[in-house]
């Protein structure tokens, strides 16, 4: 086993976007090197390590420090970043949308990304690409427009502004999230025909995936009888098969209602409940869940990180295997 010593801190100089063929070898080698416990640890959020201090972030993951995979620190959006530190008070996205200016959307994303990174963040839970449909929805201010084409153009530009400045854009809430009113406790569902689903609600997300978004967050609601967090048609059929999305699918906080690792959900936030280590292990042991499905979810999570170079520290030796720092437990 070839060994190395990974640094204590990931800096911008360490961000390295690998060529597709190099990334494929790197992720495959990581999957070979990971223990089952390490793979399971990536399926949900985690408690931050002692001594990290309060930074007001929204979510956290330890990473796999002995293999060079850094911690993940998430900040909420969508108007800049939400935390306990002083940041730029960007205008609400609805005002941004009213400009019809792609360059301003890119600048909006760039500001949010650079301030997210300055606060030790590397995932931004934004932009919000829902399409305004009801004047009563309390998050209309966080959306850009009632026009799906405008949302797609502005959203794609904002995604580029985030991703090109070293932070993973997590586009939300996939999809038709604003049809259920202002009371999240009831989670009502709705029937959406195929044409409306694709042309209105999915259009901005498809553009965001094309612009390089590394992560997609599911909506709380049901569509055509199934919660989006466990909706195979959306998460596997549309996102993966039709659009070729390779990054991570993340749950909105508390939006998971059943085991969904085999239905297209990769990461349960803020903590794994339905995807806890014990539940996943039992399914693996019984044969209800395949190792291939588990590895697929971990691959998506790693690919999402790699979309901005967060696997730049990971080293391959001459035989194509991961260099390991034995005994390393402190997150990078």
Is 27:297 a contact under the CB 8 Å cutoff?
no
Supply 237's token pair.
Answer: 């059929």
**Which residues are CB-neighbours of 316 under 8 A, at least 6 positions away?**
25, 26, 29, 322, 323
Is 128:143 a contact under the CB 8 Å cutoff?
yes
Tell me the Cα Rg of the chain.
19
Is 142:128 a contact under the CB 8 Å cutoff?
yes
Is 315:68 a contact under the CB 8 Å cutoff?
yes
Is 49:332 a contact under the CB 8 Å cutoff?
no
**Active-site residue (options: 76, 130, 142, 252):** 252
Q: Which residues pair with 123 in a beta bridge?
A: 74, 168
Note if 130 is an active site residue.
no
Contacts of residues 132-139 at CB distance under 8 Å and 24 or more positions apart, as own/partner, are 132/94, 132/178, 133/178, 133/179, 134/178, 134/179, 134/181, 136/181, 136/182, 137/178, 137/181, 137/182, 138/182, 139/178
**Which residues are CB-neighbours of 326 under 8 A, at least 6 positions away?**
1, 3, 66
**Which residues are CB-neighbours of 181 under 8 A, at least 6 positions away?**
134, 136, 137, 188
Q: Which residues are identified as catalytic? A: 252
């Amino acid at each position: 086993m070839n060994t190395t010593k990974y640094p204590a801190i990931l800096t911008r100089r360490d961000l390295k976007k690998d060529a597709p063929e190099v990334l494929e070898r790197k992720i495959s080698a990581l999957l070979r090197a990971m223990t089952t416990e390490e793979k399971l640890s990536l399926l949900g959020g985690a408690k931050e390590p002692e001594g990290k201090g309060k930074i007001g972030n929204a979510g956290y993951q330890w990473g796999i420090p002995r293999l060079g995979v850094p911690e993940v620190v998430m900040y909420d959006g969508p108007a800049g970043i939400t935390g306990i530190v002083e940041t730029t008070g960007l205008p609400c996205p609805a005002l941004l949308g009213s400009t019809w200016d792609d360059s301003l959307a890119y600048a909006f994303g760039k500001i949010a990304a650079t301030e997210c990174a300055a606060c030790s963040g590397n995932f931004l839970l934004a932009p919000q690409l829902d399409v305004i449909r009801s004047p009563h929805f309390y998050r209309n201010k966080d959306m850009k427009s009632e026009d799906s084409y405008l949302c797609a153009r502005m959203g794609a530009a904002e995604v580029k502004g985030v991703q090109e400045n070293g932070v993973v854009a997590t586009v939300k809430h996939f999809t038709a999230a604003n049809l259920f009113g202002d009371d999240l406790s009831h989670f009502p569902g709705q029937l959406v025909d195929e044409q409306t689903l694709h042309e209105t609600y999915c259009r901005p997300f498809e553009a965001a995936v094309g612009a390089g978004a590394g992560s997609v967050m599911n909506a709380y609601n049901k569509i055509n009888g199934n919660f989006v967090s466990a909706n195979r048609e959306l998460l596997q059929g549309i996102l993966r098969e039709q659009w070729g999305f390779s990054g991570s699918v993340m749950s909105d906080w508390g939006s998971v209602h059943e085991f969904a690792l085999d239905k297209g959900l990769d990461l349960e936030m803020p903590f794994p409940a339905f995807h806890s280590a014990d539940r996943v292990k039992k399914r693996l042991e019984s044969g209800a869940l395949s190792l291939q499905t588990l590895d697929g979810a971990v691959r998506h999570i790693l690919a999402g990180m790699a979309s901005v170079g967060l696997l730049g520290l990971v080293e391959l030796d001459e035989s194509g295997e991961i260099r390991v720092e034995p005994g390393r437990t402190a997150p990078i």
